Amino acid sequence: MSREALLTARAHTVPQLEETAWELRRLLMQLSHSYSGPIHVGGDLSAADVFTALFHYGLAVDPTDLANPARDRFVLSKGHAAVCMYLTMAQRGFFTIDSIFDTYGQLDSAYGMHPCKVQLPGVEASTGSLGHGLPLAVGMALAARQGGEPHRVFTLLGDGETGEGSVWEAAMAARSNRLGNLVAVVDRNRQLMTTHDEELVVLEPYTDKWAAFGWNVVHVDGHDMSALVDAIDALPAPDSQTPTVLVCETVKGKGVDFMEGQIAWHAGSLTDADLERALASLEATRPALATEGIRS
C-alpha cells in the first residue's frame, strides 16, 4: 500500500478526533487508578490531543502492515509519555486496550514505563533518556531521503528536554541535510518535573530559536483539534527542503481540573476518590459526539 493509500485509510473528522481524545483521557485516568505505581499522567494529558491528531489523522500507517516501507515513522522522544502512546496506538488498532490494562508495568510486559521497540511491534525506537528522540528521527529521515523513500518521520518532544544540547545539534543537522520529510512536534506545556521550565532554563523566545536554526515553525494550540488538523494538512511535502516543527501550546494535566498546571501531578496514581473526581471533570467537558464501546 502506498503512502497516499495509507493516508486515505486513516481519515477522521474533527468531531471524531475530539471524541477519541476525550476517551483517551478517560482511559488514562482508569489506568492511573488500576495500576499500583505512578504514571506520568500530567504530561500524558497535555499531549493527549496531539497523540490523537498524529496517530488517527497525521501518520500514514497501517497497524496490520507494520513492515510497509511507505509507512510514516514516529519516535516518542518524551519517552515518559509512553502510556499515552500505548493507549492511542490501541485505539488505532495496533493492539488491544485490555492487554495494556492487564499487563502494564509487570515483569516482561510489552508495556513499560518507557517504550521498547524489541518488546512492542509498532514502536519505531526505544526511548526514555531525554534529548535522544530528535537525533534518532534525523537519522531516520536522512536514511529515507538517501534511499528515495517518500515517507515522513515525526517525533514528539517535551519542551523541557529541548534544553538538551543534543536537540539543537540535531536541529542543525536536519536543516543542513534539508530534511523536509522531518516533523518535530513539541509539547509546550511549560512545566518540568518539579518546577516551571522558564524558572530553570530560559527557552523563550522559543519559536524564534527554532526559526534561527532554519526550521519551518508552526505555533499552534495543542488542545484545538481543528488547528492541529489544519497544521498537519499544511505540512510541506515530504520531498521539500526544510524541516518543520509544530510548537503546540498545552496545559499539563489538561482535561482534569484538579491536575491542570499542578506540579504535583507530573506523575502519580489515583485513589478511588481521585478517579471519581477525574471522571466527573472529564464528563463535564465531553464533546457532543457520542462514542460507543468506552471501557467501563
For position 91, what pLDDT does the model report? Answer: 97
CA distance 189 to 248: 8
CA distance 42 to 88: 16
For position 257, what pLDDT does the model report? Answer: 97
For position 295, what pLDDT does the model report? Answer: 41
pLDDT tens-digit readout, 65-92:
999 999 999 999 999 999 999 999 999 9
Where the chain has pLDDT below 50, the residues are 290-296
Whether the pTM exceeds 0.85: the reply is: yes
Q: In CATH, what number does 3-284 get?
A: 3.40.50.970
For position 11, what pLDDT does the model report? Answer: 64
CA distance 97 to 213: 40
For position 152, what pLDDT does the model report? Answer: 98
Residue-range domain boundaries for the chain: 3-284
CA distance 21 to 248: 16
Which sign does the torsion angle of CA 210, 211, 215, 218 carry? positive
Contacts of 288 (CB under 8 A, 6+ apart): 15
